[in-house]
Amino acid sequence: MYRGRIKRPNSKGSRLCSECGKKFIEGYCVYDGKEYYCSDKCLDKRYSASKYVSLYRAGLAYYSRWGNSHE
Ligand SMILES: [Zn+2]
C-alpha cells in the first residue's frame, strides 16, 4: 500500500481500528485521527486505493506508529 514516511505524532499508546475494533500501535490514521485502520485490509474496506492516495496527498491520511516502547 501507499504508506509513505512514518510520522511520529506526539500522542502515544495504541489506537482502535475504526473497522474491526482491534487495538494496534502501527497503522493508518485518517482525517487527523478521526478514523484509524489497523491494516491495509481494514483501510481497503472503507477507502479505495485511489481515494487513500488522494487523502494522503492532501495530508489527511498517513501511516504511523504509536508505540511507546522506544521512549
Ligand atoms: Zn482493523
pLDDT at site 58: 96
- Which residues, in sequence order, are CB contacts of 27 under 8 Å at separation 6+? 15, 17, 36, 37, 38, 39, 42, 63, 64
Task: Express each pLDDT in 9-30 by its tens digit.
Answer: 545 688 999 999 999 999 999 9
pLDDT at site 70: 52
CA of 24 to the centre of ligand 1 (A): 8
pLDDT at site 32: 86
CA of 4 to the centre of ligand 1 (A): 19
Any idea where the domains of the chain sit in the sequence? 15-65
Task: Express each pLDDT in 26-52 by its tens digit.
Answer: 999 999 899 999 999 999 999 999 999
Q: Encode 42-51: b = buried (16+ Cβ within 10 Å), e = exposed.
A: bbeeebeeee
pLDDT at site 71: 47
Confidence of residue 67 (pLDDT cuts 50, 70, 90): confident
Question: Partners of 29 in the beta sheet?
Answer: 36, 62
CA of 70 to the centre of ligand 1 (A): 24
